Amino acid sequence: MTARSAPRRSSRDDRGQIYLWAMLLSLLLFGLAGLSVDLWRAISAWRSFAATADAAAAAGASGIDEAVFRTSGGATVQLDPASAEALAYQNLAAQTDDSEITGYTASATTEQITVVVNGQIDFALLGILTSTDSLSLSATATADPRPSG
């Protein structure tokens, strides 16, 4: 009969290191998941803001000054700034059911209209890892006058 020898122990005790590595890897993966989820939400929200601004600028660009257009025989197409801004604001009010939009502005000259849509998204996962819990975004669109119809 042979005697069994006790398992050898190294001079260093490695027990528990796998738990430390697993915790660090989990934290790293959590941060990466938070970055990817929240970054995707930010890109998606910005694209939504840009589409909103584009649509409002296009609506405002149809606010041409009809008196100038008629007196020039259709040769001069310019914006009526008050009408263009009113059309842009009407469009913005009709399509801004998005709770992430915090405000918008429209400003027009006779040559163009510019619409700015501002918003804010709250972080889903990155708020746990960072000191800020939201991100402010802005999208701008500009359009030239064009007759409607």
Q: Which residues contact 16 (CB under 8 A, 6 or more apart)?
A: none
Report which of 50, 79, 80, 64 is spatially closest to residue 141, judged by C-alpha positions. Answer: 50
Q: Is residue 64 left, alpha or beta, with left meaning phi > 0 and alpha meaning psi from -120 to 50?
A: beta
Q: Which residues contact 117 (CB under 8 A, 6 or more apart)?
A: 49, 50, 52, 53, 56, 92, 101, 103, 104, 138, 139, 140
Report which of 111, 102, 96 is spatially closest to residue 142, judged by C-alpha positions. Answer: 111
Looking at residue 81, what is its pLDDT? 95
Looking at residue 104, what is its pLDDT? 94
Looking at residue 134, what is its pLDDT? 84
Report which of 75, 45, 63, 147 is spatially closest to residue 110, judged by C-alpha positions. Answer: 63
- Pair type for strands 113-122 and 134-143: antiparallel
Q: Is residue 17 left, alpha or beta, with left meaning phi > 0 and alpha meaning psi from -120 to 50?
A: alpha
Contact present, 128 and 36 (Cβ < 8 Å): no
Looking at residue 118, what is its pLDDT? 95
Looking at residue 2, what is its pLDDT? 62
Q: Rounded to whole angstroms, how far apart are CA atoms 142 and 52? A: 12
Residue 75 CA, distance from chain mean position: 39
Q: What is the mean pLDDT of each run of 10 residues along the chain (149 residues)?
A: 62 73 87 82 91 95 91 89 96 82 94 95 73 87 80
Q: Which residues contact 23 (CB under 8 A, 6 or more apart)?
A: none
Looking at residue 141, what is its pLDDT? 97
pTM of the model: 0.74
